[in-house]
A and B are shown apart, each in its own frame.
Chain A
Amino acid sequence: MKDFQTPILVVQKLRKQFGLGCDHCRDMKPEHLEKNYCPKCGTVYACRDVSFELYEGEILGVVGESGSGKSTMMQCLYFDQEVTAGTVSLRSYKNGKNMFAESAQQKRYIRNNMFGMVYQNPIMGLNMSFSAISNIAEKLIAAGNRNVAAMSNRGQDLLDEVNIPLFRIKEPPKNFSGGMQQRVQIAKALSNNPPILLLDEVTTGLDLSVQANVLDLIKKIQRELNISMIVVSHDLAVVRMLADRTVVMLNGNIIESGLTDQILEDPQHPYTQELVYSLL
Chain B
Amino acid sequence: MGTKYNFAFFDEGSKREIRRATLKAVAIPGYQVPFASREMPIGRGWGTGGLQLTLSLIGEKEILKVIDQGSDESVNAVNIKKLIVSTTGVQTTIDTRKATLIQSRHRIPEIPLNKEQILVLQVPIPEPLRVVEASEHKTKRLHSESDYSGAWLMLFEQIMKYDSVTHGADYPVIVKDRYVMSPSPIPRFDNPKLNNSEALILLGAGREKKIYAVPPYTKVISMAFEDYPFRVESFSGQKCHLCGAQGVYLDEIIDEKTGEAYYQCNDTSNCLMRLNGGK
Contact = CB atoms under 8 A, between A and B. Distances in A.
B161 A147 contact: no
A130 B149 CA distance: 13
Interface string B126-149: 000000000000000000011101
B156 A148 contact: yes
Given A108-B145, A148-B159, A152-B160, A134 B225 contact: no
Contacts of B159: 148
Contact of A130 (B147, B153, B227): B153
A137 B155 CA distance: 11
Contact of B149 (A104, A142, A170): A142
B153 A108 contact: no
Contacts, number: 44
Given A131-B161, A146-B225, A146-B226, A151 B149 contact: no
Contact of A104 (B145, B152, B160): B145
B228 interface: yes
B233 interface: no
B227 A149 contact: yes
B156 A147 contact: no
Nearest to A139: B149
Interface residues of A, number: 19
Contacts of A134: 153, 156-157, 160
Contact of B225 (A130, A131, A147, A170): A147
B153 A138 contact: yes
Q: Chain A contact residues: over half helix, strand or loop, or mixed?
A: helix
A105 interface: yes
B152 A146 contact: yes
Interface string A151-174: 110000000000000000010000
A134 B161 CA distance: 10
Contacts of A141: 149, 152-153, 156
Nearest to B223: A146
Contacts of A149: 227
Contacts of A127: 153
Interface of A: 104-105, 108, 127, 130-131, 133-134, 137-138, 141-142, 146-149, 151-152, 170
14 contacts: A105-B146, A127-B153, A130-B157, A131-B157, A131-B160, A134-B157, A134-B160, A138-B149, A138-B153, A141-B152, A141-B156, A142-B147, A148-B156, A148-B228
7 closest residue pairs by CB, A with B: A142-B149, A134-B157, A141-B152, A148-B225, A141-B149, A147-B226, A137-B156
